[in-house]
Chains A and B, each alone.
Chain A
Amino acid sequence: MSSLVIKNLRVGVETDSGLTEILKGVDLTVNSGETHAIMGPNGSGKSTLAYSIAGHPKYTIMGGTVTLDGVDVLEMSVDERAKAGLFLAMQYPVEVPGVSVSNFLRTAATALRGEAPKIRTWVGEVKAAMTKLNMDPAFSERSVNEGFSGGEKKRHEILQLELLKPKIAILDETDSGLDVDALRIVSEGVNRVKAESNIGVLLITHYTRILRYIKPDFVHVFANGHIVEEGGAELADKLEENGYAEYIKS
C-alpha cells in the first residue's frame, strides 16, 4: 500500500518577468489501487503538476510538500523518484536519437530493479508486452521515440509502464492522439498493470472517452493552478456537458 500525498504545492516557472507562479496550492492524495482523473482547461497547470512531481528541472518549487509513503519526494533527484516508485507517462515523450528502445528499456529496468534482468527472460518479457500493446517488435531496434507517430509514442509510454511497474503512475494526456482501437489497447494496458500490481493512477485527460475504459474513483477539476472541484465519475460527464466556464469565471 503506497500513497502519494501532495500538500499546498506551489510551483513557478522562470519567465522574462521573473518567477511566475503556475501551481497555486494543490492538495491531492493518490493511494494504491485508486484512479484519479484530473480534467481542466488548457494552460491550467496539469502538466506542470505532473512534471513537478517527476522533478523536471524547469520548474521551481515555491512551497508545499510532496511525499511518497511519508518520504519527501521534492528532495529526490529525478532518477531517485523513479526508483521510489513514481512514473510519468509524458504528454510529449522526448526523442533520444541513437539510443535504441531495447537498450533504453533494459537500462531502465536494470536501474529500477537494481540488477540487470536475465537476457533470456527479459527479451521474452519485452516482446510479450509489445504484443499486448499491438506494437511491432521492430520498434525495439529503433531510436527512442524518434520518428514515432503521436500514437506510437503513447503506446511506448504504456509499454514502459508495464515493464517498469511503478507504485504510482501519472498519465499526462496519454489518450490524446490515439485512434479508437489504440485507446482501447492502451487502456487495457493500464488496467492490466492496475490489476497485476495495484498501482495508483493519476490520469490527466481532456476527454471522458478514456474514462469509460479506465474507471476513475475520483474526478478533480483543475483550473488556474489548483483543484476547484472534486467528485466521482459522474463529475466527468457533467464537465463534458457544461465545460469549464463556471470554474474559470471566478
Chain B
Amino acid sequence: MSSLTSNLLKHADTPTGREEAWRFTPLKRLAGLHDRETDVVDQPSLFQKSGDQAGFSLKLVAADSVPPISTTDDVIVERIRESVARVTLLEINRNSEVSQPITFNRKNSIDKELSRTVIRAGANSKATVIIENTGGSLIGEEIEIILDSGATLNFVTLQEWENTTVHLARHHAIVGRDATFNSITVSVGGSVVRILPTVEYTGPGASAELLGVYFATDGQHLEHRIHVDHGVPHAKSRVNYKGALAGNQARSVWIGDVFIRAIAEGTDTYELNRNLLLTDGARADSVPNLEIETGEIIGAGHASTTGRFDDEQLFYLMSRGIASEEARRLVIRGFFSEIIGKIGDEIIEERLMSRIDNDLAKVGA
C-alpha cells in the first residue's frame, strides 16, 4: 500500500496524534475542534466585503442541496459535513468575467464554529476570490471549489488571524477540463493553523498552481498539507510554498503529497518548499512526497530546502550603509515577494509585508 493512501484511511474517531496525518499537530491546542465530544456551533461566517455584484450569485443554502462532492478522511471535515445545516454557496456564472476580486471577510462568533462553503466557477468563467481571515476564532472550515471546463479561478486566502486563533481547514479544488486554478495561501496569524490545500482533476488540460507563504513567530504552529491527485491524463500542477520562522517554539509543517495515478499520462508536476530559519528555537518540517504509477509523464519533480539566513546578503546590504534590522527586513520581504507579489493587490501586499515586519520586530529577529 502506498504511503499516500494512509491519508485516506478511515478514522472516525478522535485523533490521538499517532496518526500520520496528525502526528505533527499539537492536539492539545485545538480547543477540542477535532473531538466530537466538544460542542461546536454551525456558523456561516463568510460575508462579502467588496467587489463586483454582477456575474455571480452568493447565497446561503440548505446543506442537503449541496452535498459534498469530494471524499476525505479528515476528521474535522467529516464533522463539518455531519453538523453544518447551511452552506455558503458562491456561483460564478458561466462565461462571465468578474473583473473585480470578490472579497470576503469573516464575522466570527465567540463560539467554536464549523463552516462549509462551496464555490462553483461556471464553464469559461474568470474570477478572483479573496478570503480575509482576521480576528480571534476557533474554526473548522471546509471549502470545496469546483471549476467547470475552461474556468479560471484565482483563489486567495489570507490567514491574518490574531494569535489566539485555531483554524483547521480543507480547501479542496476540483479542476475540470482545461480549467485553471491559481491559489495563494498566506498564513501569518493564528495560534494553530492547519490547512489542507488539496486538488483533484476531472478533465485533461486542467491546471493547478498552489502557492503559499507562511511566517511563524513565537509559539505559532502553521501547518500546510498539500495533496495533489493526478487522476486524469494531461493535467499540470505547480506547488511553491515559502516559509520563514523566528522565535521560540515557532513551528511550521509542510507536507507535499503528489500522486500520479497510472491513468495520468502526460502529467506535468513540480513542487517546491523553502524554509528560512531566522532564529534558534524555531523548527520547520518539510516532507515532499511524490508517487508515480506511470512513466509516461512530461515531468515530475520536487525540492525542499531549509536554511538559515544568508549572511552574504546581509553583508552586501550593510556594506551600503543599511542597518542590520533594515537589511534583514529587506531580505525577508524579498524572500516572500516572489509569492506575495502575485496577489496583485498592492494594499493587501503591503499589509502582509508590514505584518511580517512587525512580527519580526517583536521577536527581535
Contacts and interface: CB of A to CB of B under 8 A. Distances in A.
A130 interface: no
Contacts of A96: 313, 316-317, 330-331, 334
Contact of B319 (A82, A98, A99, A144): A82
A79 B313 contact: no
A96 B331 CA distance: 7
Nearest to A105: B320
Contact of B318 (A58, A78, A97, A103): A78
B335 interface: yes
B321 interface: yes
Contacts, number: 85
A79 B330 contact: no
A77 B324 contact: yes
Contact of A111 (B320, B331, B337): B320
Given A94-B313, A94-B315, A94-B316, A164 B321 contact: yes
Nearest to A145: B316
A57 B315 contact: yes
Interface residues of A, number: 31
B335 A107 contact: no
A93 B316 contact: yes
A153 to B, nearest CB: 11
Interface string A95-128: 1111100011001100110000000000000000
Contact of B311 (A57, A108, A164): A57
* A interface SS class: mixed
Nearest to A79: B318
B287 interface: no
Nearest to A82: B321
Nearest to B335: A98
B336 interface: yes
A57 B313 CA distance: 12
Contact of B322 (A57, A79, A90, A97): A79
Given A57-B311, A111-B326, A97 B334 contact: yes
Interface string B320-351: 11111011001101111110010000000000
B312 interface: yes
Contact of B321 (A90, A103, A112): A112
Contacts of A90: 316, 319
B338 A83 contact: no
Nearest to B339: A98
Contacts of B341: 98
Nearest to B338: A98
B336 to A, nearest CB: 7
A184 B341 CA distance: 38
Interface in A46-104: 54-58, 77-79, 81-83, 87-88, 90, 93-99, 103-104
B319 A54 contact: yes
A90 B317 CA distance: 12
A99 B321 CA distance: 16
Nearest to B330: A99
A117 to B, nearest CB: 13
Contacts of A82: 318-321
A32 interface: no
Nearest to A86: B319
B312 A108 contact: no
Given A111-B320, A164-B320, A98 B333 contact: yes
A143 interface: yes
Interface string B297-321: 0000000000000011101111111
B1 to A, nearest CB: 41
A104 B316 CA distance: 11
Contacts of B313: 94-96
Contact of A79 (B311, B321, B338): B321
A31 interface: no
A88 B321 CA distance: 11
Contact of A77 (B318, B320, B330): B318
A160 interface: yes
A199 to B, nearest CB: 15
A88 B319 contact: yes
Contacts of A57: 311, 315
Contacts of B315: 54-57, 78, 94
Contacts of B318: 55, 77-79, 82
Contacts of B334: 96-99, 143
Interface of A: 54-58, 77-79, 81-83, 87-88, 90, 93-99, 103-104, 107-108, 111-112, 143-144, 160, 164
Given A96-B313, A96-B331, A164-B321, 4 more contacts: A58-B311, A79-B327, A82-B320, A87-B319
12 contacts: A78-B319, A78-B324, A79-B321, A79-B322, A96-B313, A96-B317, A98-B334, A98-B336, A104-B330, A111-B321, A111-B326, A164-B321
